[in-house]
């Protein structure tokens, strides 16, 4: 009996039954969703398409983009698969690009489909297509990465680490802020610089100066599942400061029409909400990164002045962000979430009027502590002899 059992076990448990080889799958690395009339338009980027040969005769992998339309996301995917000879496989998505229209009206349809679909992994990045079709974003070729979707995902990661005005939002982060109490989501955006049609061509990636390329843009603010507005770069910096999402931030101040740049390398933000008043505390460390003004950096008073000016600038970023959020009545910072977590009874009383009445009238107190600890590799400004 025991020996007989081994036969079905060998057949069934080794995974030989109903298997799918890699070359039978269309590994999708990017999805873009647009709305055309009443239909959803899905654009998918397939990574494991037939390899092409490079100019030196070498074999290079190439990406293929397919489109499909349908009244539902499901239908649009099925329509896409009509033109693909392999089974569409969604486990390796790097990025999901959403058009402005989808972000304004139909976001939950897209979210629901991807949430429900067992193959997706929920760690891909979400990005908004600013003033362009989402599908076009996936078509722009680039000399730096093989696949546009990979280029976009890596660009988001790198910019997140090196600049303060954008940050990566993955599917879990986004849906978490979508379903949590007292917080609204935000998403980074991307746009196309140059001619979209030229950017689709292979020649675009072979040029030393590509005529068309993707560029990360400002943060998009949501109220619930509806996109409401764009933030400017400075407002985006403020949003990221309050949300504690800053890795590196360049603070630019002006002294006698000359510019001084301080690079913030450590930043820790916390806030407290009590009696309709928010107290934001920012503890930060930075170093002078660029100096165009004629100042004596040996003098501690000069350092103090720069430090104070930086503090004022950081406060300005924060105030700009708060003003934008208040104006659009969307709590993207999670002040309401703070109230919910620390005083749930009060939250239950005020949650219905939080976004529209209480949040726009919150009193804000900002405290910034900056330690300007370095001046780069040199001690003073570069003085040129006359």
Partner 1 sequence: MKVTSSEYSYLTSFLIRSLFFGPAIYSILHFALQDGWISLIISFILSFIPLIIYYKLLNHNPHDNIVSINNKLGTLGKLINMLLILFIIFHAGLILWNLTNFIYSQFLFQTPLLVISIVLAISIFYVSIQNITTIARTGTVFFIISTILFFVAAFSLAGECDLNGLKPVLNSNFSSILKGSFASLGLNIFPIFIILIIPKNAIKNSNKLLSSFFKVYIFRFICMISVLIICISILGIELTNLYQYPEYHILKTINIANFFQRVESILSIQWIFEAVIAIALCIYYIKESITKTFNFKNKFNLINIISLISILIITKYIFPNNTIAESFYKNIYPFLTLIFFLIIPFLVLIVTKFKKNKY
Binding site for partner 1 (CB under 8 A): 1-2, 5, 8-9, 12-13, 18, 115, 118, 121-123, 172, 175-176, 179-181, 340-344
Phi/psi of residue 142, nearest 5 degrees = -145, 145
Question: Shortest approach of partner 1 to residue 4 CB, angstroms?
Answer: 11
Burial 349-381 (b: 16+ CB within 10 A, else e): ebbeebbeebbbebebebebebebeebeeeeee
* CA atoms in the 13 A half-sphere facing the CB of 96: 27
Question: Shortest approach of partner 1 to residue 226 CB, angstroms?
Answer: 18
**Between 57 and 118, whose beta carbon lies closer to partner 1?**
118
**Between 280 and 306, whose beta carbon lies closer to partner 1?**
280
Question: Shortest approach of partner 1 to residue 193 CB, angstroms?
Answer: 29
Largest Cα–Cα distance in the chain? 100
CA distances from 152 to 29, 46, 96, 121, 158 (A): 11, 15, 10, 18, 10
Question: Shortest approach of partner 1 to residue 174 CB, angstroms?
Answer: 11
Question: Shortest approach of partner 1 to residue 122 CB, angstroms?
Answer: 6
The answer to whether residues 219 and 158 touch, using CB atoms and an 8 Å cutoff, is no
The answer to whether residues 140 and 213 touch, using CB atoms and an 8 Å cutoff, is yes
Question: Shortest approach of partner 1 to residue 90 CB, angstroms?
Answer: 12
**Between 4 and 59, whose beta carbon lies closer to partner 1?**
4
In the numeric block, which tokens belong to residue 302? 């000069």
**Between 9 and 162, whose beta carbon lies closer to partner 1?**
9
Q: How far is CA 313 from the centre of its chain?
A: 24
**Between 17 and 382, whose beta carbon lies closer to partner 1?**
17
**Between 87 and 195, whose beta carbon lies closer to partner 1?**
87
**Between 211 and 244, whose beta carbon lies closer to partner 1?**
244
Q: Which residues contact 33 (CB under 8 A, 6 or more apart)?
A: 40, 41, 42, 43, 73, 96, 97, 98, 99, 102, 110, 134
Q: How far is CA 67 from the centre of its chain?
A: 24
Question: Shortest approach of partner 1 to residue 119 CB, angstroms?
Answer: 8
First CA to last CA distance, the chain: 100
Pick the closest to residue 297 from 385, 381, 373 (CA basis). 381
Question: Shortest approach of partner 1 to residue 366 CB, angstroms?
Answer: 21
**Between 195 and 348, whose beta carbon lies closer to partner 1?**
348
User: Tokens 């040969």 sit at which residue?
Assistant: 53
């Amino acid at each position: 009996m025991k020996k007989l059992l081994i036969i079905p076990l060998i057949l069934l448990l080794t995974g030989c039954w109903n298997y799918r080889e890699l070359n039978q799958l269309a590994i999708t690395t990017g999805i873009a969703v647009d709305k055309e009339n009443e239909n959803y338009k899905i654009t998918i980027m397939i990574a494991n398409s037939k390899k092409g040969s490079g100019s030196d005769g070498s074999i290079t992998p190439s990406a293929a983009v397919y489109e499909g339309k349908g009244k539902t996301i499901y239908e649009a995917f099925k329509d896409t698969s009509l033109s693909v000879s392999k089974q569409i496989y969604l486990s390796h998505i790097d990025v999901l690009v959403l058009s402005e229209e989808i972000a304004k009206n139909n976001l939950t349809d897209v979210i629901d489909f991807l949430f429900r679909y067992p193959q997706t992994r929920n760690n891909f990045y979400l990005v908004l297509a600013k003033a362009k079709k989402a599908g076009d974003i996936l078509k722009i070729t680039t000399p730096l990465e093989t696949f546009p979707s990979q280029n976009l995902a890596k660009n988001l990661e790198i910019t997140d680490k090196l600049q303060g005005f954008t940050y990566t939002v993955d599917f879990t982060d986004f849906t978490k802020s979508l379903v949590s109490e007292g917080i609204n989501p935000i998403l980074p955006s991307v746009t196309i610089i140059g001619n979209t049609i030229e950017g689709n061509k292979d020649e675009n990636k072979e040029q030393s100066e590509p005529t068309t390329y993707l560029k990360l843009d400002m943060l998009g603010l949501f109220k619930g599942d509806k996109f409401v507005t764009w933030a400017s770069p400075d407002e985006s910096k403020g949003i990221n400061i309050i949300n504690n999402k800053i890795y590196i931030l360049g603070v630019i101040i002006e002294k006698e029409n000359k510019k001084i740049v301080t690079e913030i390398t450590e930043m820790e933000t916390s806030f407290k909400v009590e009696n309709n008043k928010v107290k934001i505390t920012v503890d930060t460390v930075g170093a002078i990164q660029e100096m165009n003004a004629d100042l004596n950096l040996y003098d501690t008073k000069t350092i103090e002045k720069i430090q104070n000016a930086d503090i004022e600038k950081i406060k300005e970023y924060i105030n700009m962000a708060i003003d934008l959020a208040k104006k659009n009545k969307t709590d993207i910072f999670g002040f309401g979430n703070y109230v919910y977590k620390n005083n749930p009874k009060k939250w239950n009383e005020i949650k219905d009027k939080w976004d529209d009445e209480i949040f726009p009238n919150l009193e804000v107190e900002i405290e910034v502590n900056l330690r300007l600890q370095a001046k780069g590799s040199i001690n003073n400004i570069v003085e040129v002899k006359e």
